[in-house]
Amino acid sequence: MVRLAVVGCRDLSEIEAAMSRLKGGVIAAVVDEDKRTAHDSAIALGASAARSIDDLLDSHGDDVDAVFVRSDPGARARLIKKTAEAGKHVMAAPPLGLSAPEAQEAVAACEASGVRLMVANPSRHMPREQLIKESLDDGRLGSPGLLRVHRWAAAGECGAHGLSLADLVGEIDLSHWLFGARAATIYGVGRRLGNPTGDRPDFVQLHLGFPGGGMALIDYAATLPPGDGYTSVSLIGSGGGVHGDDAHNVNLAYRGGLPAATRTGYGCGHGLALLQEFVDSIQEDREPDNTGRDGLAAIMVAEAARESMASGRAARLTENRYEPV
């Protein structure tokens, strides 16, 4: 049984719902700086409570095998390193840090300690993305050609300053996963369409080119009126296409003839899948499906895209870094 600790207790509803179905794992401890939040979460999950990662490792270290780091991105790399140095496996929400060097240090700490590091990107485990990946893997779509990802959110959802690196890495990682490779060329465009005094764009469009001629087009807008946002993912391959969106929880698969609609209820399934993959990778002594190196690659692309937006120039992968072209 893998004993998990959760660091960062804001909105644990998905984790709470998933625990009754998780095989081989249990939440043994929770950590939050707010004492009341930690206490309430501990009661809900039947776990012990700690105020900090140091408190957790000092007071409950022998009761924990792995840690899920969900806290503020600014502290994430430091917490990953501290957890790894204590010999605990780590799952962390993306991004792994606020920069590629921070993420590199976190990845290196886990590798040096011989512990697993998994990036908890929910996009890889949503039903629509799973349908696309399965259709690619079994050959029904042929080779991926064009991926289109929309993510449109209400104004202010990304914060007053606009979109950050943390808002972009999930879709970048999804693109890498579906193409099975890291983006080779990058071009980014950003605009401030809402509050003109913000220091970051609230609309971003990324063009990612992949080896073999495939392309991903990602747009993220945080400019909608208050209310529900909208996401969609479409992929056209050499043998067919798939489209999925969250408008009515319907995925459309095109394999010749009439399209087939697959209705899905998202629920807590993607959260359960993330936790189950993490637990299984520890028990089976293997790399998880989304490694620290994957998380680092997504941050490097996001940083190159940010530079492209500022300079108006594309970037190309040369050895292990992106250079302007």
The CATH code of the domain that includes 172 is 3.30.360.10
Q: What angle do CA 316, 105, 220 make, to 5 degrees?
A: 50
Handedness of CA 90, 95, 96, 97 (dihedral sign): negative
> Is residue 206 domain-shared with residue 249, that is, in the same domain?
yes
The residue with greater pLDDT, 222 or 75, is 75
**50-54, 97-101, 229-233, range with the lowest pLDDT:** 229-233
pLDDT per residue over 64-90, tens digit each?
A: 999 999 988 889 999 999 999 999 999
3-class DSSP state of 159: coil
pLDDT per residue over 16-43, tens digit each?
A: 888 889 999 999 999 999 999 999 999 9
Phi-psi region of 111 (alpha: psi -120 to 50; beta: other; left: phi over 0): alpha
Buried b (16+ CB within 10 A) or exposed e, 40-62: bbbebbebbbbebbeebbeebee
Phi-psi region of 72 (alpha: psi -120 to 50; beta: other; left: phi over 0): beta
> Is residue 92 domain-shared with residue 140, that is, in the same domain?
no
Q: Are 85 and 64 in contact (CB under 8 A)?
A: no
Q: How confident is the model at residue 200 (pLDDT cuts 50, 70, 90)?
A: confident
At residue 23, the pLDDT reads 96
Q: How many angstroms separate the CA atoms of 202 and 149, rounded?
A: 16
pLDDT per residue over 119-167, tens digit each?
A: 999 989 888 898 899 999 999 999 999 999 998 887 766 655 567 777 8
Please check the confidence at residue 228 and state whether its pLDDT lies above 80: no
> Is residue 17 domain-shared with residue 79, that is, in the same domain?
yes
DSSP 21: T
> Is residue 136 domain-shared with residue 245, that is, in the same domain?
yes
> Is residue 171 domain-shared with residue 98, that is, in the same domain?
no
> Is residue 130 domain-shared with residue 264, that is, in the same domain?
yes
At residue 197, the pLDDT reads 60
Question: Which of 66, 92, 121 is the last residue in one of the domains?
Answer: 121
At residue 266, the pLDDT reads 52
Please check the confidence at residue 250 and state whether its pLDDT lies above 80: no
Asked if residue 283 is part of any domain, the answer here is no
**33-42, 112-121, 219-228, 271-280, range with the lowest pLDDT:** 219-228
CATH number at residue 34: 3.40.50.720
> Is residue 168 domain-shared with residue 90, that is, in the same domain?
no
Count the domains in the chain.
Answer: 2
Full residue range of the structural domain in which residue 181 is found: 123-273+299-324
> Is residue 155 domain-shared with residue 94, that is, in the same domain?
no
At residue 248, the pLDDT reads 52
Question: Which of 87, 121, 155 is the last residue in one of the domains?
Answer: 121
Question: Which of 121, 151, 169 is the last residue in one of the domains?
Answer: 121
Q: How confident is the model at residue 261 (pLDDT cuts 50, 70, 90)?
A: low
Question: Is residue 95 reached through a cis peptide bond, with omega within 30 degrees of 0 on the bond before it?
Answer: yes
Q: How many angstroms separate the CA atoms of 275 and 174, rounded?
A: 18
Angle between helices 100-113 and 292-311 (to 10 degrees): 170
